[in-house]
Amino acid sequence: MSDGRCVLNVLKEPGASRFIKSLNPDNAIPNVKRAIALAESQDVKKRILPFHQPRNVSRGCHFSYAIPERRPHYRTLLKSVQTHRDMDLKMDEKLEKLLGGEEVYYNESQGLFPYSMAYAGFQFGSFAGQLGDGRVVNLFEVQDSKSTWQTVQLKGSGLTPFSRFADGKAVLRSSIRELIISEALYHIGVPSSRALQLTLLPKTRASRERMFEPCAVLCRVAPTWLRIGNFDLFRFRPHLKGLLGLTHFAINEVFDGGKDFPRYRDFNVFRKDFFPNDGVQQSPEARNPVEGSTIYDEFYRHVINLNAKGVAYCQAYGFMNGVLNTDNTSIMGLSLDYGPFNIMDQLKPDFTPNHDDITGRYSFENQPSAIWWNLIMLAHDLSVLIGAGPNHIDKILSMEELSEELPAEVEKEVVNRANDFIALAGNEYKFTFLSEYANLMGKRIGIDLGFSSKLINPEEIAAQSSKVQDFLSNILEPLLNVLQATEVDYNHFFVKLQNYRGPIFGNDDEEGLSKGFLSIFFYPSQIEQLQAYKSGKVDFNADSGGVRIVMDTAEDIFQWAKKYAKFVPDERKRSEIAKEVNPLFIPRAWMFDEVIDDFMLNQRTELHDPESKIDNSLLRKLFIMSSNPYDPSRWEESVRPDVQQRWVNLEHEGIREKYLKQASCSS
């Protein structure tokens, strides 16, 4: 494999500025020529207005030209070799300086200049007005080694027009967390943005909860950074041309002209709710079939299906974003914008990782409904397009403004179609989410359910829905109830089950289960309680309840195991299926804390000194393990061997004191 392409050569290729060539800039800086003139007319050591002036941008714009603020010092802490390789970029000094914000690339003839996106959003259910990239600058777009377009951006690069009352900075601790979790999720298989480089900013500080904290710039990439909030902006400030421009860009550039849109399946099959009692927020009831289809219908359906699959992965692996506002919800279903996230150490469905989420709106169990609520907001943003349908779309496209009045009868038809469309979309979302979730969870316990994501006729969809419901009701839900009762480590349980080679049933306990199999579900102390009761050392009637709960749970496991054994008679095949989806390592909140404290407590003085020697071995170790979750042979045992065993050993009970810690939104 080559060392990768030189970034300067890549930027000469067509497409590096697809976003700004297709969409509208803020009127304050109307074109690349003006942006370059402003950049070159100022003292390069300051890089000031109007790039860094928070303001309300012009109606109908999609972005504002912006450049990183100049910092006193830059110091690369870590580069992702794998992400560079996947991007097919050579890790040279020029690229390193661009990815840290130390240098800026622009070119008038190519129409290329950095920018920050404009968007709005609903935050905790309330509309928040103009938001936008408040500390993010998008550098350019490049095709990766698989010819997929990726947008490269800097987070924490300083003030932008969208900074509002903030400072445009990102502190080191939150940057470390995002660096690691984004790569960890991606390599596990969860749709996610990725990280290229982490750059420390010596002598740059930000005022946060921990007073003045060291800052950093994280360079991250994604196929698109468009989120529902980008569309919310055009409901907040109605502008039909702007909405159409954004939608057409998403269809043509992000989704390659809609080649994967769900045209293969009649939408009206979802007039029926195949999962009426699933617990996901209910859709309104469709009154009529939706006649015909347009590219805008297909676009919206594609977005809901991608998000349904994305949240299914999050639920399967116990990942909690913590802030699933519409401005944090990707149109591609990617996990992005990492703040107070957490991994479900123990299964507690009502847990929220966000200290400020006092109502539990974004708790683990509420994530699927939260995403669907956001998708309803997107439907409202697009309502005039999806409501128009084939009968009226030409009329809508010919309008200059959304404020133009439609004939009363046409308006009624548009409203009714939009409402019926949203109802059907909700049923399709649930079908996709639950099918994908059941499929993943089945594989995690060694069962390949063989579900298809491209079923066409109602009979096939009904049959698969029935199988999904049967699996969820009879296998998965009883298992999750057991895990919630025993409080064993959620993700580690699946690895232990995968690696178990002994018998499920035996004669060494009264429940008919082998001791080895029971040990997958219980902590050693709970196994001791079972043995103590069996030997008569515990008075069951006098017990305060602990042993009784363990005994009842053991009986639940026995009943579950009888059903499970019928699904997986072949132990070898069970293990082969499971090992493909069960990561052997997932970074946890307490591990992040260890790495952050290593910098913040042990090397605080060094972080401030651009000439000091900094030890990043603990950070590097966690990054390496997180980037290779299925392959321990790539964990580089020579790097901090003292922590590797401790990070993978999740057996000792004292570790539970570190589980399920909340974080704030501050970053």
Instruction: Identify residue 199 by its one-letter amino acid code.
Output: T
Q: What is the pLDDT, as a whole number, of residue 510?
A: 46
Helix, strand, coil % over all residues of the chain, rounded to 5: 45, 10, 40
Task: Determine how β-strand 170-171 pairs with β-strand 149-155.
Answer: unpaired
Share of the chain above pLDDT 90, in %: 81
Q: Flag whether pLDDT at 234 surpasses 60.
A: yes
Instruction: Please report how the helices 408-444 and 383-397 are oriented relative to each other, as an axis angle in degrees rounded to 10.
Output: 130
* Average pLDDT for the chain: 92
Q: Flag whether pLDDT at 540 surpasses 70.
A: no
Read off the pLDDT of each residue in 307-319 and give the average, rounded to a whole number. 98
- What is the pLDDT confidence band of residue 1, given thresholds at 50, 70 and 90? very low
Angle (CA) 116 122 128, round 5° = 70
Q: Flag whether pLDDT at 362 surpasses 70.
A: yes
Q: How many CB atoms lie within 10 A of CB 346?
A: 17
- Give the start-end residues of each E strand in 526-592: none
Instruction: Please identify every residue annotated as catalytic.
Output: 327
Q: Flag whether pLDDT at 509 surpasses 70.
A: no
- Asked, as a colleague might, if the bond just before 50 is cis with ω within 30 of 0, I would say yes
Q: Flag whether pLDDT at 278 surpasses 80.
A: no
Read off the pLDDT of each residue in 555-562 and give the average, rounded to a whole number. 94
Q: Flag whether pLDDT at 482 surpasses 80.
A: yes
Q: Flag whether pLDDT at 144 surpasses 70.
A: yes
Higher local confidence (pLDDT), 506 or 274: 274
Which residues lie closer than 8 Å to 212 by C-beta, 6 or more apart? 205, 206
User: Could you tell me the two tokens for 117?
Assistant: 């996106």
